């Protein structure tokens, strides 16, 4: 069973960066399973699909995968270029971008 190691992106609903500091080892497997006739939800006997292991650094996650002989793939995060601005810049006289409304 293949595992992917990645750094989760922060939620689009917040501007905080708190949840993007750690690395996650997530098992990738077949999503097939049977549908529970009582609840209508999909169930599986594969416990690995329910696990997400969190690590402080990428090296710790890779070392864990190698120690447990787990084939893994590392997905590097894309860095976002953030432009620091203040709220007052929206009303500047020499604003570079015109208002759209």
- Give residue-wise pLDDT tens across range 63-99: 999 999 999 999 998 877 777 878 887 778 777 776 6
Contact (CB, 8 A) for 31 and 11: no
pTM value surpassing 0.85: no
Contact (CB, 8 A) for 28 and 48: no
Percent of the chain with pLDDT over 70: 88
Q: Is residue 54 part of a domain?
A: yes
d(CA 73, CA 22): 16
Q: Is residue 77 part of a domain?
A: yes
pLDDT classification of 32: cutoffs 50, 70, 90: low
Angle at alpha carbon of residue 62, lines to 53 and 4, rounded to 5°: 60
At 47-69, the pLDDT tens digits run 777 788 999 999 999 999 999 99
| Host domain of residue 32 | 2-91
Task: Report the domain count for the chain.
Answer: 1
Using alpha carbons only, how large is the chain's radius of gyration in Å? 21
């Amino acid at each position: 069973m293949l595992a992917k190691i990645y750094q989760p992106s922060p939620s689009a609903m917040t501007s905080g960066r708190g949840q993007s500091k750690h690395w996650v080892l997530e098992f990738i497997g077949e999503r097939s399973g049977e549908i529970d006739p009582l609840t209508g939800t999909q169930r599986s006997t594969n416990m690995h699909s329910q696990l997400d292991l969190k690590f402080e650094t990428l090296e710790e996650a890779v070392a864990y995968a190698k120690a447990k002989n787990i084939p893994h793939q590392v997905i590097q995060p894309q860095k976002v270029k953030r432009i620091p601005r203040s709220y007052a810049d929206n009303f500047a006289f020499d604003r570079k971008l015109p208002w759209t409304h």
